Amino acid sequence: MDKLTELISTTNNWITTHILIVMLIGAGIYFTIRTGFVQIRLFGQMVKQVFDSRDVDGDGISSFQAFAIGIASRVGTGNIAGVAIAVTLGGPGAVFWMWLVAFLGMATAFIEATLAQLFKIRWHDGTFRGGPAFYIQRGLGSRKWGVVFALFLICSFGVSFEMVQANTIADTLKTQFEVNPWVTAAILLVLCGPIVYRGLKAVAKASEIVAPLMAIVYIGLAAAVVVMNLDKVGPTFSLIVENAFGLRETLGGLAGSMTAAMMNGVRRGLFSNEAGEGSAPNAASTAHVTHPAKQGLIQSAGVFVDTILVCSATAFILFNADPEALKPYWTSPDPAGADMTIAALKSTLGAWAGPVMVVLICVFAGSSVIGNFAYAEVNMDFLTKGKAWGDKLLKAIVIVSIVLGSVAELKLVWNFADLTMTGMALINIVSIVMLGKWAFGALQDYLRNRERPFVATGNPSMPGELPTDIWVHGGTDSPSGSPAAVH
C-alpha cells in the first residue's frame, strides 16, 4: 500500500509540475489577453453582479446561490492548512505566486463559467445542469470525453474529497477536544446528511448562508491581526515580494529560493481557487441569469475571494505572529498546516482564538462537504441522464465517504484524489481553449449592452448558432425544456 501511495504521488507530482502548471498558467495568460484583462476592467461589475444576484424567479437557483456553492467548495481547509504548508516549504514568497495565479485564474474562471452557462440544459426540477461534461459533449461533440471528465470529478469530489474533509474535522476535534472520531462521524451525518439527501436546492440554500459568513468571520480575524500590527503591513508586503524572487531569507532562517516559492505558491494557488480545474463551472451552470457573462463575472469574483482575500488572510496571520510561537513549525520536517495557523492566531489575539479557529476549520470543511456533493450530483446526472437510481447511489456513496473519512487514515485517498483532479483539469483546459470563442463572443455581446438579456439566435457576436433551447427568448425565460433538452 505504501508503494502504491508513493507511485501515485510521484506520478501526479511529475504531471502537475511539468504539464498541468504550464497549461493552467498558459491558459490564464491567453484568456487574460483575449478578454482584454477582464479581471481588471470589469472588476466593479463583478462586485455589482454578486450583490445584485440574490433573487430568482420560480423554484430554481439564484446566481448568488451558485456563487456561494462555489465558495463553499473552494474555501476549505486548504485555505488554512494549505497556505501554512506552502509558506513553510516555499517561504513568504509563495504568497506572491499565489496572488499571480489568482489574477490569471480570474480570467480562466470567467471563461469556463460562461461556457457552462452557454451550454447548460434545463432540468426536470426547475434548475439547470451544465459544466465541463456538458460543454464537452454539446460544444465539442464528444460524449466519451464528457463521461471521462464526469467520472474523474465524481471520484474526486464525490468520494475522495468528502473523505478528506471529514477526516480533517475528526482529526481537529480529536486533537483539540479529544472527541472520538465515531462521534464526529455521527455529528456530520446529522448535520450534512439531510442537506445531501434533499439535493442541489438544499445545498444552495445552506451555502448561501454558511459560505459568505465563514469567509467574513475568518477575514475579520485576519483584519484584527493587521490592525494590531499596522506598522508591519509595509514590511510584510516587502517580505513577500522580495522572497518571491529569492532576495531575502525565509522566516525559518533558510536562504530564500525563488524556485521553491514559485512551485509551492503556484500549486497552492491553482488548487485553492480551482480556476481551470473544471469543478466550479458545475455550480455556475445551475444559476438563473439573464446573460451568461454575468455568471462568468460572478465566478471570477469567487477566485478573488478565495485566494486574494481568504488565503492572504492566512498568510498575514502567519507573518504577524510571535516568532517564538511558530519556531517549532518552521523547523519541523513535517509541515503542520492547520495547527500552525491556530498557534499563530493564538499568539496574536490570545488563547480564546484557538476554539474559534477550531470551529472555523470544522465549518470550512463541512461547507466543502456539501459544496463538493453539488459538483458530483451534476456529473452523476450527466452520466445517468437523470435516472433516479443514479441520484440515490451518489447520495449513499457520499454518506459512506463521510463516515469512512472520519475514522480512517487517508494518505492513499488524498493522493488518488490529486491524480483524478489532475486528470479532470487537463481535460477541461484543452476543452475551454477549444471552446473559448463562444465565451469571447458572449463577453463582446455583454459589453455592447450590459442590461439587455442575451439571445443566442442570430447573434452577430457569437461564432455560430449555439445548440440550445434556453437562450432563445432572452435570459433564461424560455419555456420548460422537453425531454430531449433534459437528456
Q: List the one residue out of 274, 347, 294 whose CA is nearest residue 78.
A: 274
pTM, two decimals, is 0.86
Beta-carbon neighbour count of residue 290 at 10 Å?
17
C-alpha 427, offset from chain centre: 17
Q: What is the C-alpha to C-alpha distance for residues 209 and 370, in angstroms, rounded to an integer?
A: 13
pLDDT of residue 18: 82
What is the CATH number assigned to the segment(s) 2-453? 1.20.1740
- Residue 27 or 127, more confident: 27
H or E element: which one contains 477?
Answer: none
pLDDT of residue 481: 41
**Averaged pLDDT of the chain:** 83
305 neighbors 47 (Cβ within 8 angstroms): no
Q: What is the C-alpha to C-alpha distance for residues 469 and 457, in angstroms, rounded to an integer?
A: 10
Backbone angles phi, psi at 62, to 5 degrees: -75, 160
pLDDT in tens, 398-443: 989 888 888 877 666 667 777 888 889 999 999 999 999 999 999 9
Q: How is the chain split into domains, by residue range? A: 2-453
Q: Which three cell numbers stand for residue 66?
A: 451558485
Q: What is the C-alpha to C-alpha distance for residues 59 and 64, in angstroms, rounded to an integer?
A: 14
In three-state secondary structure terms, 56 is coil
Mention every residue, 6+ apart, whose C-beta is less than 8 A from residue 450: 45, 291
The residue written with cell numbers 463516515 in the block is 403
300 neighbors 68 (Cβ within 8 angstroms): no
The sign of the dihedral angle between the CA atoms of 157, 160, 164, 167 is positive
438 neighbors 130 (Cβ within 8 angstroms): no
pLDDT in tens, 57-73: 555 677 887 777 777 66
Q: List the one residue out of 12, 1, 84 whose CA is nearest residue 415.
A: 12
List the alpha helices (DSSP H) in 332-466.
Answer: 338-349, 353-384, 388-407, 411-448
- Using DSSP bridges, classify how beta strands 121-122 and 128-129 pair: parallel, antiparallel or unpaired: antiparallel
Q: What is the C-alpha to C-alpha distance for residues 257 and 243, in angstroms, rounded to an integer?
A: 7
Side-chain half-sphere of 89: how many Cα atoms within 13 Å? 19
pLDDT of residue 119: 96
pLDDT of residue 32: 97
Type of residue found at 64? F
Mention every residue, 6+ apart, whose C-beta is less than 8 A from residue 69: 203, 204, 207, 211, 283, 286, 371, 374
316 neighbors 64 (Cβ within 8 angstroms): no
At 335, the pLDDT band (50, 70, 90 cuts) reads low
Q: Which three cell numbers stand for residue 174?
A: 480529536
pLDDT in tens, 81-111: 778 778 877 888 888 888 988 899 999 999 9
Backbone angles phi, psi at 131, to 5 degrees: 125, -175
Percent of the chain with pLDDT over 90: 28
Q: What is the C-alpha to C-alpha distance for residues 295 and 64, in angstroms, rounded to an integer?
A: 9
Q: List the one residue out of 456, 458, 461, 460 whose CA is nearest residue 476.
A: 456
